[in-house]
């Protein structure tokens, strides 16, 4: 048991020693203490050594001097003999002696050569190689008035001094070791152990950063170490505070994240709805419609009865929008959408395809009716019932295109595009409200696409030309010309503007083409003016050009560059184009007025016109459409219409020009009715020459 205790104590001592030795701080501290103690001891040793040496020498010299004094006291009465002196040398540390008095000298032993006063510092007296010092004592009553010279043996002093040094060094070492051990013990108690504990605490607190308060300890000490512990404790408390704030922030962040995710999901859903449904009517949009139809047509259960895709477009909706305002237009569209939706069995089978165009699946499954034609008629009839918006009632006409499943296509995309082509067909022929798709329509679409493609390069390829058709007053005197665009296609030959202008309008190409036309017209006008032409040039303008904010200024620049007066240029715009989105065109129309540019309302009588607007616009001329002139002078309806237009225009302060005048009868009737000017084949066909040519070239 005692052995075990012993072993345990040894182990813990070894550990402690290893710990101390491993601690750089303690090692340096104890080494420094050890060195300092040694240095102090050495510093003390040097003067002690000197004193001790002097003491030893004095002791030897004292013994020698006592021996000489005793010898002289005994010899006072007797004669001094050499033998007596020899005896003195043998019995004392003296190795040689010389006595002198009254000129008598007695000598024995070694000869004395370097006498040194005996009362001087013995340490500095010269020594013989045998370790003796030569001394001199002056005549003294103690020495019976003898002058004494003596050689004293001090050879044993060196060995005694060496022993002294060793003794002192051993003692110093012992003291140093003891002090070092004590220092080590104190350092361990006061610094190393607490330091290691603190280090351990810091590293554990670092590893377990989530529970800083677990590592708090009371600070018992009032020294710097206690301060360090205090600082660490306050750091732990601060960490705990940060941690709880961090946790709080984290929780808030989590909540925020959750909220954001929810909002994101909601937005995503809304976005999905927005991308699939039309915002205004709530009906499916084109992509959802196509997807649903595809899904339906690929279902093996479908195909029991005949089905068709019906595409419906409102006629003259743009005019309604322009005149009654977009808000009313939107309400009309919502109502029509509601009526069409009533015929659908599935919310994905009815859609707003864009603008005023709707799509619907009719037939067996589409539920409109088992018989397609009956179903379509019902839908159209429902759409054409008057729509009440506020106090106003609007009559809507629709054009419909139909593509029969299986016959006109198998997939949704084909059926839809065929039904749309058919609908456009129906729109073009006012007598036919419903048009079933026919395969030749497809060829027409291809032809259309080819035309668009080559129209894009028509200006660069110099395929466009301006023809000029004369306009005359009632006395058939020329008042001006209308510029009419011609396109000579390299393979198709001349393409009618009635065919390519709508294409250019649909594709936006009309803006670029229109600029070219205006530039050409102004350049021609300048040429003519130089040759004395004072009349005007009418140039046709499309709705899209009016919506172009830079349009009016480009005309002004062109006129200024060529030095042509704005009064000589008249812009012709059809009644329908003018009334469509009039608010949008207002900026350009006001700019026309500022620039002194005037407008002629083309094809008057074929669309809706708001007289209030007409009055507010810089309109100088109304052009009666050709279709009303054709019936003159026999068709009563046309007569009444022409007369009304002429009167109304005059009341508004506008002049009237009738277009498409082909016969003398038409010309005379119009002149009599008060029409100011005439234009038509009777007065001249459109030709290249214009002002200078007396014989206009043929249009064809």
The residues that touch ligand C2E, with contacts defined as CB under 6 A, are 469, 484-485, 496-498, 501, 514, 517, 540-542, 572, 602-603, 626, 659-662, 680-681, 686, 699
Shortest distance, position 665 Cβ to ligand C2E, whole Å: 13
* Partner interacting with residue 662 (select from Ca ion, ligand C2E, none; CB below 5-8 Å by kind): ligand C2E
Tell me if the bond preceding 633 is cis, omega within 30° of 0.
yes
Can residue 98 be called a binding residue for Ca ion (CB under 5 A)? no
Shortest distance, position 601 Cβ to ligand C2E, whole Å: 11
d(CA 299, CA 508) in angstroms, rounded, equals 40
d(CA 79, CA 273) in angstroms, rounded, equals 153
Closer CB to Ca ion, 309 or 599, in the complex = 599
Number of H helices, E strands in the chain: 22, 21
Looking from the CA of 104 toward its CB, the CA atoms found within 13 Å total 7
Sequence-ordered list of residues with C-beta below 8 angstroms from that of 239, at least 6 positions apart, any chain: 209, 212
Among 229, 356, 602, 676, binds Ca ion (CB under 5 A): 602
- Which whole-number Å values give the CA distances from 543 to 317, 504, 547, in the listed order? 15, 12, 7
* Main-chain dihedrals φ then ψ at residue 528, nearest 5 degrees: -65, -45
Tokens representing residue 169 in the block: 């060094």
Question: Which residues within the stretch 501-540 sit at the binding site for Ca ion (CB under 5 A)?
Answer: 540
Can residue 603 be called a binding residue for Ca ion (CB under 5 A)? yes
**How far is the first Cα of the chain from the last one, in angstroms, to the nearest whole number?**
135
* Partner interacting with residue 643 (select from Ca ion, ligand C2E, none; CB below 5-8 Å by kind): none
Helix, strand, coil shares, percent, the chain, to 5: 55, 20, 25
Tokens representing residue 80 in the block: 């001094």
Closer CB to ligand C2E, 238 or 507, in the complex = 507
Can residue 575 be called a binding residue for Ca ion (CB under 5 A)? no
Shortest distance, position 313 Cβ to Ca ion, whole Å: 24
Shortest distance, position 456 Cβ to ligand C2E, whole Å: 17
- Which whole-number Å values give the CA distances from 482 to 181, 548, 576, in the listed order? 124, 23, 19
Question: Which residues within the stretch 306-345 sit at the binding site for Ca ion (CB under 5 A)?
Answer: none
Span near Ca ion by CB under 5 A; candidates 200-208, 325-333, 506-514, 570-578: 570-578
Shortest distance, position 474 Cβ to Ca ion, whole Å: 20
* Partner interacting with residue 485 (select from Ca ion, ligand C2E, none; CB below 5-8 Å by kind): ligand C2E
* Partner interacting with residue 469 (select from Ca ion, ligand C2E, none; CB below 5-8 Å by kind): ligand C2E
- Which whole-number Å values give the CA distances from 592 to 219, 597, 614, in the listed order? 93, 5, 14
Helix (H, G, I), strand (E, B) or coil at 311: strand
Where on the phi/psi map is residue 306: left (φ > 0), alpha (ψ -120 to 50), or beta?
beta
Cβ-contact 687, 696 below 8 angstroms: yes
* Partner interacting with residue 484 (select from Ca ion, ligand C2E, none; CB below 5-8 Å by kind): ligand C2E
Closer CB to Ca ion, 297 or 467, in the complex = 467
* Partner interacting with residue 309 (select from ligand C2E, Ca ion, none; CB below 5-8 Å by kind): none
d(CA 589, CA 617) in angstroms, rounded, equals 7
* Partner interacting with residue 684 (select from Ca ion, ligand C2E, none; CB below 5-8 Å by kind): none
Can residue 677 be called a binding residue for Ca ion (CB under 5 A)? no
* Partner interacting with residue 501 (select from ligand C2E, Ca ion, none; CB below 5-8 Å by kind): ligand C2E
Closer CB to Ca ion, 581 or 602, in the complex = 602
Closer CB to Ca ion, 335 or 659, in the complex = 659
Closer CB to ligand C2E, 293 or 661, in the complex = 661
* Partner interacting with residue 660 (select from Ca ion, ligand C2E, none; CB below 5-8 Å by kind): ligand C2E
Residue environment code for 589-601, b if the CB has 16+ CB neighbours within 10 A, otherwise e: bebbeebebbbbb
Closer CB to Ca ion, 289 or 604, in the complex = 604
d(CA 548, CA 509) in angstroms, rounded, equals 12
Question: Which residues within the stretch 643-662 sit at the binding site for Ca ion (CB under 5 A)?
Answer: 659
Question: Which residues would be at the binding site for Ca ion (CB under 5 A)?
Answer: 540, 572, 602-603, 659
């Amino acid at each position: 048991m005692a052995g075990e205790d012993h072993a345990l104590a040894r182990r813990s001592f070894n550990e402690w020693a290893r710990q101390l030795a491993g601690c750089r701080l303690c090692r340096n501290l104890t080494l420094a203490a050890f060195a300092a103690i040694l240095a102090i001891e050495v510093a003390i040793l040097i003067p002690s050594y000197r004193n001790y040496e002097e003491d030893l020498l004095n002791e030897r010299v004292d013994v020698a001097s006592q021996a000489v004094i005793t010898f002289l006291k005994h010899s006072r009465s007797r004669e001094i003999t050499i033998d007596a002196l020899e005896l003195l040398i043998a019995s004392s540390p003296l190795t040689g002696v010389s006595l002198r008095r009254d000129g008598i000298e007695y000598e024995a032993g070694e000869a004395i050569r370097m006498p040194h006063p005996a009362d001087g510092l013995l340490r500095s007296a010269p020594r013989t190689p045998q370790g003796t010092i030569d001394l001199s004592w002056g005549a003294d009553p103690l020495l019976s008035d003898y002058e004494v010279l003596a050689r004293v043996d001090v050879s044993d002093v060196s060995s005694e001094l060496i022993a002294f040094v060793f003794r002192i060094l051993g003692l110093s070492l012992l003291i140093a070791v003891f002090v070092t051990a004590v220092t080590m013990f104190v350092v361990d108690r006061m610094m190393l152990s607490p330091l290691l504990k603190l280090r351990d605490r810091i590293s554990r607190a670092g590893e377990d950063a989530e529970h800083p308060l677990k590592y708090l300890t009371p600070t018992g000490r009032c020294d710097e170490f206690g301060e360090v512990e205090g600082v660490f404790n306050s750091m732990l408390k601060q960490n705990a505070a940060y941690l709880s704030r961090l946790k709080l922030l984290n929780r808030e962040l989590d909540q925020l994240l959750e909220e954001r995710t929810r909002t994101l999901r909601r937005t995503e859903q809304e976005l999905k709805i927005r991308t699939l449904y039309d915002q205004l009517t709530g009906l499916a949009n084109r992509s959802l419609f196509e997807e649903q139809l595809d899904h339906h047509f690929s279902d093996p259960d479908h195909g029991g009865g005949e089905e068709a895709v019906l595409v419906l477009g409102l006629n003259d909706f743009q005019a309604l929008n322009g005149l009654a305002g977009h808000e009313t237009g939107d309400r009309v569209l919502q109502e029509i959408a509601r009526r069409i939706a009533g015929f659908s069995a599935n919310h994905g089978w009815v859609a707003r395809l864009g603008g005023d165009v709707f799509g619907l699946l009719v037939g067996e499954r589409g539920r409109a009716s088992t018989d397609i034609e009956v179903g379509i008629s019902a839908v159209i009839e429902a759409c054409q019932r008057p729509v009440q918006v506020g106090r106003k009632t609007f009559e809507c006409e629709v054009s419909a295109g139909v593509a029969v499943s299986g016959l006109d296509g198998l997939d949704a995309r084909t059926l839809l595009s065929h039904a749309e082509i058919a609908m456009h067909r129906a729109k073009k022929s006012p007598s036919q409200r419903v048009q079933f798709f026919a395969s030749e329509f497809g060829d027409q679409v291809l032809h259309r696409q080819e035309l668009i493609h080559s129209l894009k390069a028509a200006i660069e390829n110099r395929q466009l030309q301006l023809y000029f058709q004369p306009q005359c007053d009632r006395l058939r005197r020329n008042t001006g010309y209308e510029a009419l665009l011609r396109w000579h296609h390299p393979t198709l030959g001349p393409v009618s503007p009635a065919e390519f202008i709508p294409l250019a309008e649909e594709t936006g190409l009309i803006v670029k083409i229109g600029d070219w036309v205006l530039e050409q017209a102004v350049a021609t006008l300048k040429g003519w003016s130089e040759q004395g032409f004072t009349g005007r040039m009418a140039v046709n303008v499309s709705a899209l050009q009016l919506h172009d904010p830079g349009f009016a200024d480009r005309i002004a620049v062109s006129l200024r560059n060529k030095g042509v007066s704005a009064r000589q240029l008249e812009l012709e715009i059809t009644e329908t184009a003018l009334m469509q989105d009039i608010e949008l065109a207002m900026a350009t129309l006001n700019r026309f007025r500022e620039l002194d540019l005037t407008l002629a309302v083309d094809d008057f009588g074929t669309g809706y016109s708001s007289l209030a607007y007409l009055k507010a616009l810089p309109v100088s001329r109304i052009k009666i459409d050709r279709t009303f002139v054709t019936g003159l002078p026999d068709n009563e309806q046309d007569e009444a219409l022409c007369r009304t237009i002429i009167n109304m225009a005059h009341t508004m302060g506008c002049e009237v020009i009738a277009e498409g005048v082909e016969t003398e009868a038409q010309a005379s009737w119009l002149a009599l009715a008060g029409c100011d000017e005439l234009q038509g084949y009777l007065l001249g066909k459109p030709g290249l020459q214009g002002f200078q040519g007396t014989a206009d070239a043929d249009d064809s």
